[in-house]
A and B are shown apart, each in its own frame.
Chain A
Amino acid sequence: MAKVVEIPEGLEAFLISLLEKGIVSGLVVLKYLEESSKASYALVPAGGDTEGLAPLFPFMPANAGKVLSRLTLEGPFPNPIAVVVRPCEFRAFVELVKLEQGHMENLLIIGLECGGVYPLGKMVKENVGDFIGAYYEALKKGEIVPDIRPVCQGCDLFQPVGADIVVSVVGRGVPQLAFLTEKGLDAAEKLGLELKEGEVFAPLSQALLEARRERKGQIAEEIKGEVKGIEGLERVFGKCIGCHCCSHVCPICYCKDCFFESATFDYEPISYTERLERKGTLRVPMDTVLFHLGRMTHMATSCVGCGMCEDACPVGIPVSQIFKFIGSDLQELFGYVPGRSLQEELPLTTYRLEEFSEVEE
């Protein structure tokens, strides 16, 4: 149970009132571009242009965790800012803060119960009006929305964790806010909202959770079959063109000088000729598969499965599904859930004196 209130006038109005009452000095939220079928993250100050806020628009032009990291890398905001984020975006931000790539202070976190987002390609190429109605219909019924990102279809972490205010939409005609922290309750009080006791999520949210879990299992099975063994790797990653877009849009891949773009992978001519003797044919440039597997070892313990990488891939490799599947295996190994808590240490920056004796031989 929590303190909750329904918002028939919509989330946009709530956000604007936060600005108007001076509770926050700005918003980080999706905002429609000229036509209301595209949107971008925007930092909207008090007194700024609040026309066309799109907090619930199922579109992720960038993982907001990365956006927040860019905004707070050099230091925290001096004044309170409200941010509207999907769970995987917030979890990415938590990971980035742990990696010293952002600051959590002075943020009022408004977490969306997430119905998933559509692939960027679909949003850009198709007429959003044709399918957006079905999105909200499916959510009301607690069903998986068809055609959203595959990782979203199999996401069982769509209920926000760690947010000050949770926006619940699944299984509801009217969205509901739940105020879960001191900060959240304080904002509600300043707004003069009349809160009542209620559940944070509607019963149908549980139904969606079960459907999503089942889908997650199916995806894991499929992916496991697909990338199995050397032949699997060749088949799946063989078409990679080495553009590294997946890592550029990845919220966790924050390194400015990526190891895989370094001179480490510029070889002496002799090393090519030696390889040629062994292989007969050599794919050039080399190391495409190494890039993916190496990236997994570097970031998959923190992978939040947001799906940005897969959307960015020009040759249709199911990058995100693969990373999410491998990521959950690796996360399980360390009992780690990325973004669950700011206190939990990153698996590779800590250790226990007694552990993993099975790998000591």
Chain B
Amino acid sequence: MKVEEERMKNERETEGVFEPKIVGFLCYWCSYTAADLAGVSRMKYPPNLRVMRVMCSSRVDPVFIIKALLDGADGVLVAGCHPGDCHYQKGNYYARRKIALTKRLLESLGLEPERVRLSWIAASEGPRFAEVAKEFTERIRQLGPNPAKGALFL
């Protein structure tokens, strides 16, 4: 990708356009492969996503998400295999509960649950991956920078 896009992004940033930083936890067995596929198929999607590979969506402890948000990430994407397709049979069902919990926690604390997104993206769904990345980046751009970014005493 990405040298060119990265350069454009940096340019936009220096022009004062808000470029969200998004942390993406992608399941090794599906969504990570989908991201790869999107890459090799030269699909266009915004470069705002910092990808971390996890062995299953259920590996994402809500603490990881909160850590990212408190440290200033503007959004967190968790992506895994479609229900029924988890490599470990039921990991993604647990993941769904953890995300539901995390979002409710953020809501109760008056933070922004919209900054967290859970999506199912199969290994073959390169285009869907690009779509999710685009949509989510757009949503976060609308939301604006994460207010935790400037906080000193977190």
Contacts and interface: CB of A to CB of B under 8 A. Distances in A.
Interface stretch (B2-10, B38-46, B112-120): B112-120
B79 to A, nearest CB: 10
Interface in A258-299: 259, 275, 278-283, 287-290, 293-294, 296-298
Interface residues of B, number: 39
B111 A230 contact: yes
6 contacts: A229-B110, A230-B147, A232-B109, A283-B154, A293-B66, A361-B132
Contacts of B104: 329-330, 333
Given A293-B70, A297-B63, A238 B105 contact: no
Chain A contact residues: helix, strand, loop or mixed: helix
Contacts of A234: 151-154
Nearest to B66: A293
A232 B110 contact: yes
Interface string A326-341: 1001100110000000
Interface of A: 224, 227-230, 232-234, 238, 259, 275, 278-283, 287-290, 293-294, 296-298, 300-301, 325-326, 329-330, 333-334, 347-348, 351-353, 355-356, 359-361
Interface of B: 61-63, 66-67, 70-72, 83, 90, 93-94, 96-105, 108-111, 117-120, 132, 147-154
Contact of B118 (A275, A278, A294, A361): A361
Contacts of A259: 63
Contact of A329 (B66, B108, B147): B108
A359 B96 contact: yes
B101 A297 contact: yes
Given A229-B110, A356-B100, A360-B120, 19 more contacts: A230-B111, A232-B110, A259-B63, A281-B152, A289-B153, A294-B62, A294-B67, A297-B62, A325-B108, A326-B105, A347-B97, A347-B101, A348-B97, A348-B98, A359-B96, A359-B99, A360-B96, A360-B118, A360-B119
Contacts of A224: 108, 110
A356 B100 CA distance: 7
A349 B100 CA distance: 14
A230 B148 contact: yes
A221 B83 CA distance: 37
